[in-house]
Structure 1
Amino acid sequence: MKINQYLDATYLKTPLQAGISEEENLINVTILLKEAVQFDYKLVMIRSKYVLFAKQFLKNNLSKTLVGTVIGFHEGTYSLATKLEEAKSAIDFDVDELDFVINYEAFKNGEINLVKEEVLQGTKLCLENQKVVKWIIEVAALKEDEIAAISKLIKEIVLENFGLEAAQKVFVKSSTGFYKTENNLPNGATFETMKVIIENAKPLQIKAAGGVRDYGTAVKMIEIGVDRIGTSSSKEICTNESSSKNSNY
């Protein structure tokens, strides 16, 4: 298994969140990009302000790694107009994939039409510009029946408005990785929640994000039907794969 081609290697902290300067944060982004060149990740997921820098860095190093960014991150409660403006800006930077945080709070409050319009317009914008779109539903904020319902809703909107051929370019994604849970409960992908998403969102693509930190967990996620893994532990996962292969000889 070429595990590297399932990985969206992620660094999404702002300088404030990381407690460092802008210059130091750019160094962290550069470290991630150097890893992408070395390990041939499928994609690097970074903040929009670094997209142009990342695209040029990867081009200069003859890397095929794609560049993705986040929209409405991380709360998801931004207006549709704000999210579309963010997305258009990222598209102007020639980003490859856009991970929108869906307004899961509106969904929980029964504002279904708001959520439908968000998915419709965000997906339309991305597909018209030949971009991949991922919808982050923030599983830690939802009950199991809500995870099932919102996953199904996204699937229905995509298939009804864009057809089955769009399913390969639209993902349902578990988490931002930034949601604060009580009592140290998981704030990202678990096998249980991913199975619920898979059952309700396929044939759309599925991305597990948050909490996938080792090769064994990554492999199991893929085996249950996950198509992509968002992680800040991509290097560890890739090096663990190498050591696992070596141990078989």
Structure 2
Amino acid sequence: MNIKQYLDSTYLKTASQAGLSESENDIVVKHAITEAVNEGFKLIMIRPEYVALAKEMILNANSNLNVGTVIDFPEGKSDLETKIRQANEAIVNGADDLDFVCNYEAFKDGNAELVKQEVLIATQIGLANNKTVKWIIETAALTEKEIIQLSSLIKNVVISNFKEEDYTSVFVKSSTGFYKTPDGSPNGATIPAIIMMLENASPLPVKAAGGVKSYEEALEMIRLGVKRIGTSSAKAIANGENTSNQY
């Protein structure tokens, strides 16, 4: 198994989050892009302001590495117009994958129609531009029932409005990796949450993101049926090493 083709190598920290200056953070991003090219990962997942840089570096390296970015990250609370604007900017800059943070707080508050609308419209934009679309549901912020319901909602919007051949291009994704749980419990891809997502999002694929820290954990996710894994420790995982990184 070429596990590298399951790995979305991820660096999504701002300079302040990383405790770095802007120029220092730029260097970290460039290193992450170069590493992803050299290691042959599926994709580099970076913040929107770095997409154009990544595409230029990948072109210069004559690489097939894809570029993904996050939309309305990390809280997902912005209105649909903001999500659309950010998505269009990412498309113009050359992003291959658009990872939208679902407005899970609206869903928790009972506003399922708002979430259905954003999933429909934003997915339409992504697919119309031949992009892969992922919907981050932030499992650590949800109850088990809500994980099941939100995964099902996204699936139902997609199968009701898009062609069957589009299904493989619309993922349900577990986590941002940046959500702070009140009790310090895991904030990313746990086995129970992933199983619920797989059972209720199918036939849409699932991406496990946040907290996958070893080759064995990644392999277990793949055996369960996950198609992509987002991690800030892609190289360590591919090399069979354990890591303490949280996302």
TM-score w.r.t. the length of structure 1 is 0.95
CA contact (8 A) 1:47 1:70 kept: yes
User: Higher helix share goes to which structure?
Assistant: 1
Corresponding residue of 2:244:
none
1:62 aligns with 2:62: yes
**Structure 2: where are the runs of 5+ without partners?**
242-247
Corresponding residue of 2:84:
84
Corresponding residue of 1:13:
13
CA distance in 2, matches of 1:93, 1:114: 28
Corresponding residue of 2:173:
173
Corresponding residue of 2:114:
114
CA distance in 2, matches of 1:44, 1:156: 29
Percent of matched pairs sharing the same residue: 55
State the SS of the aligned residue for 2:99.
strand
Deviation at 1:129, TM superposition (A): 0.5
Corresponding residue of 1:149:
149
TM-score w.r.t. the length of structure 2 is 0.96
CA distance in 2, matches of 1:186, 1:137: 15
CA distance in 2, matches of 1:23, 1:190: 34
State the SS of the aligned residue for 1:98.
strand
CA distance in 2, matches of 1:146, 1:46: 28
Deviation at 1:20, TM superposition (A): 1.1
Corresponding residue of 2:245:
none
CA distance in 1, matches of 2:34, 2:57: 9
Aligned residues: 241
CA distance in 2, matches of 1:226, 1:37: 23
CA distance in 1, matches of 2:130, 2:78: 24
Corresponding residue of 1:48:
48
State the SS of the aligned residue for 1:171.
strand
Letter in 2 for 1:191: I
CA distance in 1, matches of 2:7, 2:197: 19
State the SS of the aligned residue for 2:179.
coil
CA distance in 1, matches of 2:15, 2:210: 20
Corresponding residue of 2:74:
74
Deviation at 1:94, TM superposition (A): 1.2
State the SS of the aligned residue for 1:69.
strand
CA contact (8 A) 1:177 1:187 kept: yes
Letter in 1 for 2:92: D
**Superposed CA RMSD:** 0.8
CA distance in 1, matches of 2:17, 2:85: 23
For each residue in 1:44-67, what CA deviation from the matched residue of structure 2 results, as whole angstroms up to 9, or x when unmatched? Answer: 000111001001111111211100
Letter in 2 for 1:143: T
**Structure 1: where are the runs of 5+ without partners?**
242-249
Corresponding residue of 2:28:
28
CA distance in 2, matches of 1:222, 1:49: 31
Letter in 2 for 1:221: M
CA distance in 2, matches of 1:125, 1:239: 37
Letter in 1 for 2:167: A
CA distance in 2, matches of 1:155, 1:166: 12
Q: Which moved more, 1:232-241 or 1:48-57?
A: 232-241
CA contact (8 A) 1:159 1:166 kept: no
Letter in 1 for 2:78: Y
State the SS of the aligned residue for 2:63.
coil
CA contact (8 A) 1:214 1:237 kept: yes
Deviation at 1:163, TM superposition (A): 2.3
State the SS of the aligned residue for 2:239.
helix
CA distance in 2, matches of 1:47, 1:114: 25
For each residue in 1:2-49, what CA deviation from the matched residue of structure 2 results, as whole angstroms up to 9, or x when unmatched? Answer: 000000100001112112111111111111112112210000000111
CA distance in 1, matches of 2:106, 2:184: 25
CA distance in 2, matches of 1:23, 1:122: 32
Letter in 2 for 1:36: A
Following superposition, which runs of at least 4 residues in structure 1 exceed 2 angstroms of deviation? none
